[in-house]
């Protein structure tokens, strides 16, 4: 977004750089927000978000950083979501604070907006089990929506799936780009290899899934890996019931 002013102080707001005689009087550039397209005019803003581009992340200092792992494991197993991705998102969203509330009204550990909570049948977003279950449903839905592209799903969680569609990838919003970078850095360097999040419920594999496994693709713009998760079993369902 460009903001220009003429000599009289009249402002012009536009999403393109003003050119031509019709814009001649707007000579003072006041502000430019968001990111310009690159030289090739490629609308896929995820081109620089491959797994190799993420720096090491700092571990959380929160005393409750591992308190919700059982909730994450149960909901992740139920909906075919990578538990490490969920924990990286929780770290970024709420810093593991179950009472976190954003200035715009996002609530709980994974910061569900009220409309999103209703959409995924979360009646009490302050209940960690319900909040995490709703978040897992939303992430699974986003992964299906964006054909397994984890970075686009993460961007959609932050900025809304409509903006990912609009920009053909990660939207050019500074907040969203930083969010994706932080989530993916934490995913790759803190939680992806955390055995406590997986146990026997997950096995990394590029082979075709057997009848007892559900294949979930976590390919990114530069990484087409896949991960296989065990189907939900009675123990996972009992764990979720106990958490509620």
User: What are 14-60's pLDDT values in tens digits?
Assistant: 655 556 555 666 566 655 444 444 333 333 433 344 455 677 889 99
pLDDT at 173 over 70: yes
Q: Which of the given ranges, 39-43, 58-62, 176-180, 216-220, has the highest pLDDT on average?
A: 176-180
Task: Report CA-CA distances (Å) from 125 to 54, 117, 122, 128.
Answer: 31, 7, 6, 7
Q: Which of 24-28, 120-124, 158-162, 165-169 has the lowest mean pLDDT?
A: 24-28
Kindly name the residue from 93, 130, 133, 151 that is annotated as catalytic: 93
- What does the block give as tokens for 91? 């770290």
Closest alpha carbon to 60 in 109, 116, 15: 109
Asked if the structure places residue 83 within a domain, the reply is: yes
Residues 89, 133, single domain; the answer is yes
- How far is the first Cα of the chain from the last one, in angstroms, to the nearest whole number? 46
pLDDT band at 211, cuts 50/70/90? very low
Fill in the DSSP letter of residue 149. -
Is residue 161 annotated as a catalytic residue, yes or no? Answer: no
Asked if the structure places residue 20 within a domain, the reply is: yes
Asked if the structure places residue 140 within a domain, the reply is: yes
Average pLDDT, the chain: 76
The residue among 109 and 22 whose pLDDT is bigger is 109
Q: How many domains does the chain have?
A: 2
Q: What is the pLDDT of residue 52?
A: 54
Parent domain of 173: 51-243
């Amino acid at each position: 977004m460009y903001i220009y002013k003429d000599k009289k102080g009249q402002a012009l707001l536009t999403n393109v750089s003003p050119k031509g005689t019709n814009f001649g009087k707007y000579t003072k550039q006041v502000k430019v927000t968001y990111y310009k397209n690159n030289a090739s005019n490629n609308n896929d803003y995820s081109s620089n978000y491959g797994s190799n581009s993420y720096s090491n992340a700092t571990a959380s200092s929160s005393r409750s950083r591992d308190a919700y792992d059982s909730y994450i494991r149960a909901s992740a197993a139920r909906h075919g979501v990578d538990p490490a991705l969920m924990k990286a998102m929780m770290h970024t969203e709420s810093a593991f604070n179950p009472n976190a509330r954003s200035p715009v009204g996002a609530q709980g550990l994974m910061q569900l907006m009220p409309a999103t909570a209703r959409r995924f049948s979360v009646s009490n977003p302050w209940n960690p089990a319900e909040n995490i279950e709703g978040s897992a449903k939303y992430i699974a839905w986003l992964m299906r929506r964006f054909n397994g592209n984890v970075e686009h799903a993460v961007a959609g969680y932050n900025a809304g799936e409509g903006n990912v569609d609009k920009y053909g990838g990660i939207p050019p919003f500074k907040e969203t780009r930083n969010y994706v970078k932080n989530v993916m850095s934490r995913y790759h360097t803190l939680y992806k290899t955390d055995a406590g999040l997986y146990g026997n419920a997950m096995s990394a594999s590029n082979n075709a899934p057997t009848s007892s496994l559900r294949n979930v693709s976590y390919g990114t713009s530069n990484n087409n890996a896949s991960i296989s998760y065990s189907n939900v079993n009675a123990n996972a369902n009992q764990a979720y019931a106990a958490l509620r």
